[in-house]
Amino acid sequence: MRKFFRERLPGRDGVLQNRWLQPIRHWLQHPNLWHLNRHSVAGGVALGLFCGLIPGPFQMLAAALLAMWLRVNLPVALATTLYTNPFTIVPLYLLAHRIGLLISGTSTERPPAEFPELHWQDGLEMLWQWLLTLGEPLLIGLPILAIGLSVTGYFVVRFAWRLAVQWKWHQRAKRNAERL
């Protein structure tokens, strides 16, 4: 598993030499951000799956900041956010909406609220009220789906990593037995 990730992810030195990252270079030098072990990769996958459902262009920014704070593998966290794209975002948000409907007990027959006419002074408040009336199931379902995906991803990576290690041990024992 380590070889697979090492071949596909950018190296620490290459990232640290980027001139755009000079202001935050001291934060990026922590070794846990770059280690490829079962814990850091699983944490990076979980973080990427969680941040992948953040709306808009803030997915990678949130994943990078949280990876630096939680000290999990940064390149893995950033790469994992790419599971959401124009083809997958609509089904994922529909699934989150369904989860929100189940949790909140809201009826699906409720007509959608009209988009409010926004004014300069109270535009954000009116937009928030509209989102609450229309998107309450989505606002409930998105965090639940994000947490579910991240927990599942964490344990799947830990399990797959363990299986890969056991398979390598088995192969090594088999080679050693053949030599004798």
How far, in Å, CA of 53 to CA of 148, rounded?
12
Q: Give the number of domains in the chain.
A: 1
Backbone angles phi, psi at 32, to 5 degrees: -65, -20
The model scores a pTM over 0.75: no
Q: pLDDT tens digits for the chain (180 residues)?
A: 667 766 766 665 566 566 665 666 556 666 777 888 899 999 999 999 999 998 777 899 999 999 989 999 998 999 999 999 888 988 898 899 889 989 988 766 554 555 555 555 666 666 566 556 557 888 899 999 999 999 999 999 999 999 999 999 999 999 998 887
> Exposed (0-12), middle (13-18) or buried (19+): which is 137, by Cβ within 10 Å?
buried
Domain range for 103: 2-179
The DSSP code for 110 is: S
Encoded tokens for 48: 């990427």
